[in-house]
Amino acid sequence: MERLATTSMRCRRPLTGTRPSLLSQPLLRQPQPRRWRSTHRGGTRTALFFPGQGVQRVGMLTPWLEAFPSTASQLRDEIDEYMGYKLSDIIQNGPSKLLTETPNAQPAIMATSIFILRILEREFGFKVTDHFDVTLGHSLGEFAAVVAGGYISFQDSLYLVRKRAEAMSEATRQAIEQYGGEYGMVAVISHPEHMENLIKAIRQFVGVSAEDMDDVPPIEQVLIANINSKNQIVLSGNIERIKTLIAHLRQFLGYDPRAVRLKADSPFHSPIMKPAVTVMRNLLNEGSRVKGRENEDMVTFPGRLPIVSNVSARPVCCKADFKDLLARGCLDTVRWWESIRYLDQEGRIRRWVGVGPGKVGRNLVGKEVGMRGKDLVKGGGVWAITDPSEVEEVLKGLEDTAGIMEDDEYSE
């Protein structure tokens, strides 16, 4: 029996249930480190994904510091050294308003995601190259994915994220100073059967991309920032303009989507972010900040694991595209729904493991592929690891589903 080759993940251009939070209480039973016994290669195809902005919470390192004090303390100090200040103090002590500010929230979330991944690697034998087939991250989460995938060092990625966040905040400040108005993001929820036509209608009203708005002042700019799932998109830009758009959809096109204002202090993935793209392009062409590599490109390509871009919703196939797409991630629409569908349908991914704070990423993936950790559909599942109490159950689920393949992946 020979296993047929599945769709190439390298160059095509064109873990369960919600548990009570452990952030405010000590672990009742410390998890026991043990090795992941799964031998992945030749088995079920698995994706590793990371969350984006909005999942930050004060104290999100606490359960890991309590469960693995030696390893976690070393990693915490490493983060602070790379940042040049005690980011961990803001993560652990807040206040929440300070942590939520974009220049703090973005590096805090990305750092926490890699902090958790490193503990999984050192304490439980998570070997990214041995156990996963592809990685991706939602918006900001892409910077954790590039670290996991071996494209950019943790130190360099933290530097990029901090500078990215500062550039995005500055772009918003300049728009307010020059044009006035209020800017932000609004989630739009509709029935799945209406979503395709809803997206078309919005694009007819505001344009498809930032390039369509070169002659439009920021106070009138709105763009689809995220296509998150079969029933949710996010609009970004001037809030009054977004309200007008939603009223237009309701009055003239017969759509009545639910609109929810998000707690975002900037209109991410909108034309206002164009200056941030320029900043990121320049930064990605700098040398590495890792000692001894200062004269080397900070980007290694290919990495150790294929990565799917938010912008293209396809695996990245060369270094030039990698840099271009990562820079454009400040501005372009996050095509998350399409990325998940691509990996599910063409990449034949059957197991999905989210690492990092919050359950939003797990829920978005599960909504699309129709799986949760205990619902081992087609030998797969969707899991999230946010605190140590979840690790054992996730590992068991992954071990139980290792080696399962669909019938049409075999041939005599």
Q: What's the rounded Cα separation, in Å, for the pair 242 and 179?
A: 16
Asked: is 173-270 a CATH 1.10.530.10 domain? The reply is: no
Q: Confidence class of residue 368 from pLDDT cuts 50, 70 and 90?
A: confident
Q: 3-state secondary structure string, 335-397? A: CHHHHHHHHHHCCCCCEEEEECCCCHHHHHHHHHHCCCCCCCHHHCEEEEECCHHHHHHHHHH
Q: What's the rounded Cα separation, in Å, for the pair 227 and 217?
A: 24
Domain boundaries, the chain: 2-164+274-411, 173-270
pLDDT of 282 higher than 60:
yes
pLDDT at residue 207 in the model: 72
Average pLDDT over residues 34-40: 53
Average pLDDT, the chain: 86
Query: Which position among 139, 157, 190, 236 bears the catalytic label?
Result: 139
pLDDT at residue 381 in the model: 87
Among all chains, which residue has been given the structure tokens 């000692």? Answer: 291
Q: What's the rounded Cα separation, in Å, for the pair 156 and 291?
A: 11
Q: Which of 332, 336, 339, 333 is nearest to 314 (CA)?
A: 339
Whether 138 is a known active-site residue: answer no
Query: Which position among 113, 269, 288, 339 bears the catalytic label?
Result: 269
Q: Confidence class of residue 9 from pLDDT cuts 50, 70 and 90?
A: very low
Contacts of residue 258, Cβ cutoff 8 Å, sequence gap at least 6: 188, 189, 190
pLDDT of 346 higher than 60:
yes
Could you read off the pLDDT of 93-119 as tens digits, one per residue? 999 999 999 999 999 999 999 999 999
Provide the CATH topology of domain 2-164+274-411. Malonyl-Coenzyme A Acyl Carrier Protein; domain 2 (3.40.366)
pLDDT at residue 153 in the model: 98
Q: Confidence class of residue 217 from pLDDT cuts 50, 70 and 90?
A: confident
pLDDT of 148 higher than 50:
yes
Q: What's the rounded Cα separation, in Å, for the pair 225 and 211?
A: 14
Q: Confidence class of residue 335 from pLDDT cuts 50, 70 and 90?
A: very high
pLDDT of 313 higher than 80:
yes
- Global confidence as pTM: 0.87
Could you read off the pLDDT of 374-410 as tens digits, one per residue? 555 444 689 999 999 999 988 888 888 876 555 444 3
CA angle 277, 282, 288 (to 5 degrees): 125
More confident: 119 or 21 = 119
pLDDT of 301 higher than 90:
yes
Whether 269 is a known active-site residue: answer yes
